[in-house]
Amino acid sequence: MAQPRLTGALRSFSNVSRQDDYTGEPSDLKSKRLKRQEAFSKEGVTWKMIAQFISQHLEKRDQQAASENLKIVLQTARQIVGSEFGQEVIESAAVFIFKLFCNKDQVGHEETKAIRQMFGPFPSSSVDAACAAVNRVVSLFDETQIETFIKVHSSSHFKDHVPFGKNIMFSFDTYTLDYLEYLPIKNDDEKLSKEFSLNY
């Protein structure tokens, strides 16, 4: 439950703030995730580019295996985002998964967290399968070839901009309770005020 606050009273009873600022309703995390996926899909690398790069840089004998693994990644992406979404959303999810696992051998806590943050709850078997499929594709290339490709094509949309306040010193020090140490155990009313001193 929210703590009683002076500023709560000011917001409710004085006429100096916008009344509809905060309603206390929980946020719709589903819409947030969709927005995030949408934003991600606009960031540089597309599924088409990944598929093209792979087919262009592999010998014919490896292309078949790579293409099958890319299909697995797409399938698992569909399982993770849900089948109700269109091809565009699924391909964008596949890119996310591909980027996430292209330099990871297995699904760790960070990867699980990143996927849940992006898509919400998901079947873990799909993620394991996706990770393995991405690894099989990457193993067909030189160590950093894929990573470099992704880095070059990732959009640096405002990411290289120095964030405001980066060099501003910030302190986490905050007002804390400033009190007398003891609770006087006295029964005499009259003595209470005598015992209680502001001589800190």
- Binding residues for other proteins, rule: CB under 8 A, are 2-11, 13-18, 21-22, 25-29, 31-32, 35-36, 39, 116-117, 158-159, 161-165, 168, 170-180, 183-184, 186-187, 189-190, 192-194, 196-200
Angle, helices 60-81 vs 124-138, to 10°: value is 160
Pick the closer one to other proteins by CB: 39 or 68: 39
Rounded CA separation 129/146 (Å): 19
Return all residues near 55 (Cβ < 8 A) that are at least 6 apart: 63, 66, 67
Give dist(CA 145, CA 148) in Å, integer.
5
Shortest reach from residue 1's CB to other proteins, in Å: 9
Q: Which is nearer to other proteins, 5 or 60 (CB)?
A: 5
Q: Which is nearer to other proteins, 60 or 161 (CB)?
A: 161
The SS3 assignment for 197 reads coil
Q: Nearer to other proteins by C-beta: 83 or 193? A: 193
Minimum distance from residue 81 beta carbon to other proteins (Å): 17
3-state helix, strand, coil in the chain (%, to 5): 55, 0, 45
CB atoms near residue 69 (< 10 Å): 21
Shortest separation between residue 161's beta carbon and other proteins, angstroms: 5
Rounded to a whole number of angstroms, the minimum distance from the CB of residue 194 to other proteins is 5
